[in-house]
A and B are shown apart, each in its own frame.
Chain A
Amino acid sequence: MDAPAKAKSYVAYAAEAQTVAAGKSTVLELRFRVIEGYHVNSHTPKQDFLIPTTLKLDAADGVKAGPLEYPAGKMYSFSFDPTEKLDVYAGDFTVKLPVVAAAGEHTVSGVLRYQACDNAACYPPKTLPVQVLFTAK
Protein backbone atom coordinates (compact mmCIF):
# COMPACT_ATOMS: atom_id res chain seq x y z
CA MET A 1 0.00 0.00 0.00
CA ASP A 2 1.31 3.41 -0.82
CA ALA A 3 0.94 5.80 2.04
CA PRO A 4 -2.22 7.78 1.38
CA ALA A 5 -1.43 11.30 0.27
CA LYS A 6 -2.36 13.79 2.90
CA ALA A 7 -4.88 16.34 1.77
CA LYS A 8 -3.83 19.77 2.96
CA SER A 9 -7.41 20.78 3.66
CA TYR A 10 -10.59 18.80 3.85
CA VAL A 11 -12.92 21.80 3.90
CA ALA A 12 -13.08 24.74 1.49
CA TYR A 13 -14.70 28.12 2.00
CA ALA A 14 -16.70 29.41 -0.96
CA ALA A 15 -15.88 33.09 -0.73
CA GLU A 16 -18.39 35.34 -2.44
CA ALA A 17 -18.83 39.09 -2.41
CA GLN A 18 -22.12 39.90 -0.71
CA THR A 19 -24.07 43.14 -0.47
CA VAL A 20 -26.37 43.97 2.42
CA ALA A 21 -28.53 46.92 3.45
CA ALA A 22 -26.59 49.29 5.71
CA GLY A 23 -27.88 49.60 9.28
CA LYS A 24 -30.35 46.78 8.88
CA SER A 25 -30.28 43.32 10.38
CA THR A 26 -29.13 40.89 7.69
CA VAL A 27 -27.96 37.30 7.65
CA LEU A 28 -24.80 36.51 5.71
CA GLU A 29 -24.47 32.96 4.45
CA LEU A 30 -21.01 31.47 4.72
CA ARG A 31 -20.78 28.45 2.46
CA PHE A 32 -18.34 25.63 3.08
CA ARG A 33 -17.74 22.39 1.25
CA VAL A 34 -16.26 19.20 2.66
CA ILE A 35 -14.29 17.45 -0.06
CA GLU A 36 -15.77 14.27 -1.44
CA GLY A 37 -15.11 11.12 0.53
CA TYR A 38 -14.68 12.93 3.83
CA HIS A 39 -16.90 14.24 6.61
CA VAL A 40 -16.33 16.55 9.57
CA ASN A 41 -18.07 16.54 12.93
CA SER A 42 -21.04 18.88 13.08
CA HIS A 43 -21.11 21.79 15.52
CA THR A 44 -22.83 19.46 17.97
CA PRO A 45 -21.24 16.00 17.80
CA LYS A 46 -23.12 13.36 19.74
CA GLN A 47 -20.08 11.80 21.41
CA ASP A 48 -17.73 13.12 24.07
CA PHE A 49 -14.29 14.31 22.99
CA LEU A 50 -15.14 14.61 19.30
CA ILE A 51 -14.08 18.00 18.02
CA PRO A 52 -16.99 20.16 16.86
CA THR A 53 -16.80 22.29 13.73
CA THR A 54 -16.51 25.81 15.08
CA LEU A 55 -16.11 29.18 13.39
CA LYS A 56 -14.45 31.92 15.39
CA LEU A 57 -14.71 35.40 13.92
CA ASP A 58 -12.79 38.49 14.95
CA ALA A 59 -14.58 41.73 15.74
CA ALA A 60 -14.68 44.13 12.80
CA ASP A 61 -15.18 47.89 12.87
CA GLY A 62 -18.66 48.93 11.81
CA VAL A 63 -20.03 45.40 12.01
CA LYS A 64 -22.24 44.19 14.83
CA ALA A 65 -22.32 40.42 14.55
CA GLY A 66 -24.91 38.16 16.17
CA PRO A 67 -24.41 34.56 17.27
CA LEU A 68 -23.51 32.19 14.45
CA GLU A 69 -26.15 29.72 13.35
CA TYR A 70 -24.82 26.29 12.45
CA PRO A 71 -26.76 23.76 10.40
CA ALA A 72 -27.89 20.46 11.86
CA GLY A 73 -25.61 17.55 11.09
CA LYS A 74 -26.40 14.34 9.26
CA MET A 75 -26.23 10.92 10.84
CA TYR A 76 -23.21 8.83 9.86
CA SER A 77 -21.98 5.39 10.87
CA PHE A 78 -18.83 3.51 9.97
CA SER A 79 -19.77 0.42 7.99
CA PHE A 80 -17.87 -1.81 10.42
CA ASP A 81 -20.02 -0.64 13.31
CA PRO A 82 -23.48 0.56 12.24
CA THR A 83 -24.53 1.02 15.88
CA GLU A 84 -22.17 3.95 16.39
CA LYS A 85 -24.02 7.07 15.25
CA LEU A 86 -22.05 10.20 14.48
CA ASP A 87 -23.38 13.67 13.69
CA VAL A 88 -21.46 15.12 10.75
CA TYR A 89 -21.31 17.59 7.89
CA ALA A 90 -20.57 16.13 4.45
CA GLY A 91 -20.71 17.91 1.11
CA ASP A 92 -21.93 21.51 1.39
CA PHE A 93 -22.85 23.19 4.63
CA THR A 94 -23.75 26.80 5.40
CA VAL A 95 -23.08 28.77 8.56
CA LYS A 96 -25.27 31.85 9.01
CA LEU A 97 -23.86 35.09 10.38
CA PRO A 98 -26.40 37.71 11.45
CA VAL A 99 -24.98 41.23 11.07
CA VAL A 100 -25.89 44.87 11.29
CA ALA A 101 -23.28 46.82 9.37
CA ALA A 102 -22.53 50.49 8.81
CA ALA A 103 -22.35 51.64 5.20
CA GLY A 104 -19.09 50.66 3.54
CA GLU A 105 -16.93 47.70 2.70
CA HIS A 106 -16.28 45.22 5.46
CA THR A 107 -14.03 42.26 6.09
CA VAL A 108 -14.71 39.88 8.93
CA SER A 109 -11.79 37.56 9.48
CA GLY A 110 -11.91 34.30 11.32
CA VAL A 111 -10.93 30.67 11.52
CA LEU A 112 -12.95 27.50 11.00
CA ARG A 113 -11.71 24.64 13.18
CA TYR A 114 -12.74 21.15 12.17
CA GLN A 115 -11.69 17.53 12.36
CA ALA A 116 -12.16 15.35 9.31
CA CYS A 117 -12.55 11.61 8.79
CA ASP A 118 -13.14 9.36 5.82
CA ASN A 119 -14.94 6.02 5.85
CA ALA A 120 -12.37 4.39 8.14
CA ALA A 121 -9.79 6.83 9.49
CA CYS A 122 -9.60 10.26 11.06
CA TYR A 123 -7.21 13.13 10.52
CA PRO A 124 -5.92 15.53 13.17
CA PRO A 125 -7.88 18.75 13.78
CA LYS A 126 -7.23 21.49 11.24
CA THR A 127 -8.01 25.16 10.82
CA LEU A 128 -9.17 27.07 7.77
CA PRO A 129 -8.70 30.86 7.63
CA VAL A 130 -11.82 32.64 6.45
CA GLN A 131 -12.38 36.20 5.30
CA VAL A 132 -15.98 37.27 4.88
CA LEU A 133 -16.05 40.22 2.49
CA PHE A 134 -19.24 42.18 2.10
CA THR A 135 -20.49 45.65 1.29
CA ALA A 136 -23.22 47.50 3.18
CA LYS A 137 -25.10 50.09 1.08
Chain B
Amino acid sequence: MVAVISLVLWAGWHNLRARRLALQKEQEEHVLLLPDVPQKPGDEAVDTKTDSPSPLLHKPAPQFTLSTLDGKEVSLSDFKGRPVVVNFWATWCAPCKVEMPWFEEFSKKYAADGFAVLGLADDADAGKDAIAKSAGKLGVTYPILLTDGNVQKAYGTDEAGYLPMSFYVDKTGKIVEVTAGLGPKDELEAKVKETIAGAK
Protein backbone atom coordinates (compact mmCIF):
# COMPACT_ATOMS: atom_id res chain seq x y z
CA MET B 1 0.00 0.00 0.00
CA VAL B 2 2.75 2.40 1.05
CA ALA B 3 4.69 1.50 -2.06
CA VAL B 4 1.68 2.17 -4.27
CA ILE B 5 1.01 5.55 -2.63
CA SER B 6 4.70 6.43 -2.93
CA LEU B 7 4.66 5.49 -6.58
CA VAL B 8 1.54 7.58 -7.21
CA LEU B 9 3.10 10.55 -5.40
CA TRP B 10 6.37 10.12 -7.30
CA ALA B 11 4.50 9.90 -10.60
CA GLY B 12 2.56 13.05 -9.77
CA TRP B 13 5.74 14.88 -8.82
CA HIS B 14 7.49 13.64 -11.92
CA ASN B 15 4.57 14.81 -14.07
CA LEU B 16 4.60 18.18 -12.34
CA ARG B 17 8.27 18.66 -13.21
CA ALA B 18 7.64 17.57 -16.78
CA ARG B 19 4.72 20.00 -17.00
CA ARG B 20 6.82 22.84 -15.59
CA LEU B 21 9.49 22.18 -18.19
CA ALA B 22 6.90 21.93 -20.96
CA LEU B 23 5.19 25.11 -19.78
CA GLN B 24 8.45 27.04 -19.83
CA LYS B 25 9.23 25.73 -23.31
CA GLU B 26 5.80 26.77 -24.48
CA GLN B 27 6.30 30.24 -23.01
CA GLU B 28 9.69 30.46 -24.72
CA GLU B 29 8.15 29.60 -28.10
CA HIS B 30 5.31 32.03 -27.51
CA VAL B 31 7.75 34.86 -26.82
CA LEU B 32 9.96 34.05 -29.78
CA LEU B 33 7.12 33.65 -32.24
CA LEU B 34 5.29 36.85 -31.36
CA PRO B 35 3.97 38.31 -34.59
CA ASP B 36 4.58 41.90 -33.54
CA VAL B 37 8.36 41.67 -33.66
CA PRO B 38 8.84 43.53 -36.95
CA GLN B 39 6.89 46.52 -35.68
CA LYS B 40 9.27 49.05 -34.31
CA PRO B 41 8.14 52.40 -33.04
CA GLY B 42 11.40 53.98 -34.10
CA ASP B 43 10.81 53.13 -37.74
CA GLU B 44 7.45 54.78 -37.55
CA ALA B 45 8.84 57.80 -35.76
CA VAL B 46 11.03 58.65 -38.74
CA ASP B 47 8.01 59.53 -40.79
CA THR B 48 5.08 60.65 -38.73
CA LYS B 49 3.70 63.09 -41.28
CA THR B 50 1.98 60.73 -43.63
CA ASP B 51 0.52 58.52 -40.95
CA SER B 52 -1.49 59.19 -37.87
CA PRO B 53 0.82 58.50 -34.94
CA SER B 54 -1.60 59.46 -32.22
CA PRO B 55 -5.32 60.13 -31.88
CA LEU B 56 -4.27 63.42 -30.28
CA LEU B 57 -2.73 64.77 -33.49
CA HIS B 58 -4.46 68.01 -34.62
CA LYS B 59 -6.43 68.06 -31.36
CA PRO B 60 -6.06 70.38 -28.35
CA ALA B 61 -3.29 69.21 -26.04
CA PRO B 62 -4.67 67.66 -22.84
CA GLN B 63 -4.20 70.04 -19.93
CA PHE B 64 -2.16 69.08 -16.88
CA THR B 65 -0.73 70.51 -13.70
CA LEU B 66 2.33 68.71 -12.36
CA SER B 67 5.04 69.27 -9.77
CA THR B 68 8.57 70.25 -10.64
CA LEU B 69 11.53 68.65 -8.87
CA ASP B 70 11.56 71.51 -6.37
CA GLY B 71 7.86 71.17 -5.59
CA LYS B 72 6.46 74.01 -7.70
CA GLU B 73 3.33 73.44 -9.75
CA VAL B 74 3.53 73.91 -13.49
CA SER B 75 0.54 73.77 -15.83
CA LEU B 76 0.49 73.48 -19.58
CA SER B 77 -1.81 76.51 -19.49
CA ASP B 78 1.12 78.53 -18.08
CA PHE B 79 2.53 78.33 -21.60
CA LYS B 80 -0.64 79.48 -23.35
CA GLY B 81 0.19 81.25 -26.60
CA ARG B 82 3.67 79.68 -26.80
CA PRO B 83 4.93 76.72 -28.83
CA VAL B 84 5.78 73.86 -26.45
CA VAL B 85 7.19 70.35 -26.68
CA VAL B 86 5.83 67.94 -24.08
CA ASN B 87 8.51 65.26 -23.91
CA PHE B 88 7.94 62.01 -21.99
CA TRP B 89 11.15 60.33 -20.82
CA ALA B 90 12.51 58.07 -18.05
CA THR B 91 15.80 57.66 -16.23
CA TRP B 92 16.16 54.13 -17.70
CA CYS B 93 15.51 55.24 -21.28
CA ALA B 94 18.76 55.54 -23.25
CA PRO B 95 17.28 57.04 -26.46
CA CYS B 96 15.48 59.66 -24.34
CA LYS B 97 18.89 60.74 -23.10
CA VAL B 98 20.12 61.12 -26.66
CA GLU B 99 17.38 63.59 -27.61
CA MET B 100 17.12 65.54 -24.34
CA PRO B 101 20.32 67.55 -24.94
CA TRP B 102 18.93 68.33 -28.41
CA PHE B 103 15.74 69.69 -26.84
CA GLU B 104 17.88 71.71 -24.42
CA GLU B 105 19.71 73.19 -27.40
CA PHE B 106 16.44 73.96 -29.24
CA SER B 107 14.91 75.55 -26.12
CA LYS B 108 17.77 78.04 -26.07
CA LYS B 109 18.05 78.50 -29.83
CA TYR B 110 14.34 79.29 -30.24
CA ALA B 111 13.75 81.03 -26.90
CA ALA B 112 13.12 84.31 -28.73
CA ASP B 113 10.17 82.61 -30.44
CA GLY B 114 8.71 81.75 -27.06
CA PHE B 115 9.54 78.08 -27.58
CA ALA B 116 9.61 75.94 -24.42
CA VAL B 117 10.22 72.30 -23.57
CA LEU B 118 8.64 70.40 -20.68
CA GLY B 119 10.29 67.11 -19.71
CA LEU B 120 7.81 64.74 -18.08
CA ALA B 121 9.61 62.05 -16.11
CA ASP B 122 7.58 58.89 -16.71
CA ASP B 123 9.29 56.99 -13.89
CA ALA B 124 8.33 59.23 -10.98
CA ASP B 125 8.87 56.18 -8.75
CA ALA B 126 12.61 56.45 -9.42
CA GLY B 127 12.58 59.35 -6.99
CA LYS B 128 13.28 63.05 -7.35
CA ASP B 129 17.00 62.69 -6.65
CA ALA B 130 17.60 60.14 -9.39
CA ILE B 131 15.49 62.13 -11.87
CA ALA B 132 17.28 65.38 -11.00
CA LYS B 133 20.70 63.76 -11.24
CA SER B 134 19.83 62.10 -14.54
CA ALA B 135 18.52 65.34 -16.10
CA GLY B 136 21.39 67.32 -14.62
CA LYS B 137 24.00 65.03 -16.18
CA LEU B 138 22.39 65.71 -19.55
CA GLY B 139 22.67 69.45 -19.04
CA VAL B 140 18.90 69.90 -19.08
CA THR B 141 17.69 73.22 -17.65
CA TYR B 142 14.10 73.20 -18.96
CA PRO B 143 11.42 72.21 -16.42
CA ILE B 144 11.34 68.56 -15.42
CA LEU B 145 7.91 67.54 -14.17
CA LEU B 146 6.88 64.49 -12.18
CA THR B 147 4.10 62.52 -13.85
CA ASP B 148 1.03 61.50 -11.88
CA GLY B 149 -0.34 58.58 -13.90
CA ASN B 150 -3.20 60.66 -15.27
CA VAL B 151 -1.05 62.62 -17.71
CA GLN B 152 0.27 59.37 -19.23
CA LYS B 153 -3.32 58.23 -19.76
CA ALA B 154 -4.35 61.60 -21.23
CA TYR B 155 -1.50 61.51 -23.76
CA GLY B 156 -1.74 57.76 -24.39
CA THR B 157 1.87 57.05 -23.48
CA ASP B 158 0.85 54.34 -21.03
CA GLU B 159 -1.06 52.60 -23.81
CA ALA B 160 1.85 52.95 -26.25
CA GLY B 161 4.15 51.45 -23.61
CA TYR B 162 7.45 52.85 -24.85
CA LEU B 163 9.58 55.97 -24.65
CA PRO B 164 10.50 58.57 -25.74
CA MET B 165 7.31 60.19 -26.93
CA SER B 166 6.97 63.89 -27.70
CA PHE B 167 3.95 66.06 -28.42
CA TYR B 168 4.49 69.34 -30.26
CA VAL B 169 1.93 71.92 -29.17
CA ASP B 170 1.58 75.10 -31.23
CA LYS B 171 0.65 78.60 -30.03
CA THR B 172 -3.05 77.79 -30.29
CA GLY B 173 -2.67 74.83 -27.93
CA LYS B 174 -3.11 72.24 -30.66
CA ILE B 175 -0.88 69.19 -31.08
CA VAL B 176 0.70 69.54 -34.52
CA GLU B 177 3.33 66.76 -34.37
CA VAL B 178 3.89 63.58 -32.39
CA THR B 179 7.12 61.62 -32.35
CA ALA B 180 7.41 58.09 -31.02
CA GLY B 181 10.92 56.83 -30.44
CA LEU B 182 14.18 58.51 -31.27
CA GLY B 183 14.50 60.22 -34.64
CA PRO B 184 17.29 62.17 -36.34
CA LYS B 185 18.16 65.51 -34.75
CA ASP B 186 17.46 67.52 -37.90
CA GLU B 187 13.96 66.04 -38.12
CA LEU B 188 13.23 66.99 -34.54
CA GLU B 189 14.45 70.51 -35.21
CA ALA B 190 12.25 70.72 -38.32
CA LYS B 191 9.25 69.74 -36.17
CA VAL B 192 10.18 72.39 -33.61
CA LYS B 193 10.29 75.00 -36.40
CA GLU B 194 6.91 73.86 -37.74
CA THR B 195 5.47 74.06 -34.24
CA ILE B 196 6.76 77.60 -33.89
CA ALA B 197 5.36 78.49 -37.33
CA GLY B 198 1.95 77.37 -36.13
CA ALA B 199 -1.00 75.38 -37.38
CA LYS B 200 -0.98 74.27 -41.00
Give the chain A neighbours of B35 by CB distance below 8 A.
5
Residues B20 and A6 in contact, CB atoms below 8 Å apart:
no
Closest chain-A Cβ to B24's Cβ sits at a distance in Å of 3
Q: Is the CB of B98 within 8 A of A81?
A: yes
Interface residues of A (CB under 8 A from B): 1-17, 33, 35-37, 47-51, 78, 80-81, 84, 86, 105, 107, 115, 117-125, 130-131, 133
Which of A1, A5, A14, A131: most chain B CB closer than 10 A?
A1
Q: Are A123 and B134 in contact (CB under 8 A)?
A: no
> Could you tell me the distance in whole angstroms from the C-beta of A84 to the nearest C-beta in chain B?
6
A119/B24 in contact, CB under 8 A: no
Which residue on A lies nearest to B89, using beta carbons?
A: A122
Return the chain B residue nearest A109 by Cβ: B20
Q: Say how far B79's CB is from chain A's closest CB, in angstroms.
A: 26
Min CB distance A130 to B, Å, is 8
Docked-complex contact B24 and A131, CB < 8 angstroms: yes
Min CB–CB distance A83 → chain B (angstroms): 9
Contact of A33 among B32, B39, B97, B159 (CB under 8 A): B32
**Set of chain A residues within 8 Å of B160, measured between Cβ atoms:** 3-4
Q: Give, as a whole number of angstroms, the nearest-CB distance from B131 to chain A.
A: 9
Pair A49/B130 contact, Cβ less than 8 Å? yes
The contact sample of 5 A-B pairs, CB cut-off 8 A, is: A50-B92, A81-B182, A121-B42, A122-B93, A124-B123
How distant is the Cα of A33 from the Cα of B28 in the complex, in angstroms?
Answer: 9
**List of B residues within 8 angstroms of A35 by Cβ:** 31-32, 34, 37
Q: Is the CB of A119 within 8 A of B42?
A: yes
Point out the residues of chain A lying under 8 angstroms from B32, CB to CB: 12, 33, 35
Q: Is the CB of A4 within 8 A of B28?
A: no
Beyond known contacts A6-B36, A84-B97: 9 more, CB 8 A cutoff: A1-B52, A1-B53, A3-B156, A12-B31, A35-B34, A107-B17, A122-B95, A123-B161, A131-B24
Select the residue from B53, B92, B96, B164 with max chain A CB neighbours within 10 A: B92
Q: Verify A47–B180 contact, CB threshold 8 A.
A: no
> In the assembled complex, which residues on chain A have CB atoms less than 8 Å from the CB atom of B94?
47, 50, 78, 84, 86, 117, 122
B21 close to A15 (CB less than 8 A): yes
B181 proximity list for chain A (CB < 8 A)? 118, 120-121
B34 touches A131 (CB 8 A): no
A4 touches B162 (CB 8 A): yes
Complex-state Cα separation, A36 to B40, whole angstroms:
11
Nearest A residue (CB) for B26: A15
Q: A50-B94, A120-B45 are in contact. Are A4 and B40 (CB under 8 A)?
A: yes
